[in-house]
Amino acid sequence: MSRGQRAPSQRQLRVGEELRHAIASILERGDIHDPEVAGKPVTVTEVSVSPDLRNATVFVVPLGGGDPQPVLAGLKRARSYLRHEVARMVQLRVAPDLSFVADGTFDNASRIEALLSSPEVRRDLRQEGGHDLGAGDIDSDIRTADDHEGQDDGA
């Protein structure tokens, strides 16, 4: 979080989630006839709402990968229709102005996974920690620690 910004309020989070569900529902129905959006599965990962609830940033990921820019352009062209439909579905005093942004979270996670899986990193982890950590090993280490917390030492 950058300087001067506060954490979103519970109301912002709730409205953002309601907007996310509404927009995902509209996209799922296939009501947008723009050729860049029609028939292409798009996931709405998050909606961030301004404190006054008048602006909403919609984070989307086109499924199947590829360049998100054409899909973003299609959603931008359909913005007034989406805003009208959202106003019908979500009870707010003012329907927020929607802006669409590609969500890079999944790309970042894939890059990190690829880095952790690279032979050089696995070798370095093995040298420092004494054993090779795979993605599944981390989960099993956490489960093992959780299992030990519930046991009594004196029984």
pLDDT tens digit sequence for 66-94: 788 999 999 999 999 999 999 999 999 99
Q: Are residues 35 and 86 in the same domain?
A: yes
Residue 3 lies in a domain: no
Residue 2 lies in a domain: no
Q: Are residues 69 and 49 in the same domain?
A: yes
Q: Are residues 113 and 74 in the same domain?
A: no
Residue with tokens 């404190």: 51
Residues 6+ apart with CB under 8 A from 93: 53
Q: How many structural domains comprise the chain?
A: 2
Residue 88: φ, ψ to 5°: -70, -35
Q: Which domain covers residue 123, as residue numbers?
A: 108-148
Nearest to 102 by CA among 140, 64, 62: 62
Longest dimension (CA), the chain: 68
Q: Are residues 87 and 126 in the same domain?
A: no
Q: What is the pTM of this model?
A: 0.67
Residue 5 lies in a domain: no
* pLDDT, tens digit, 9 for 90 and up, residues 23-57: 999 999 988 888 888 888 899 999 999 999 999 99
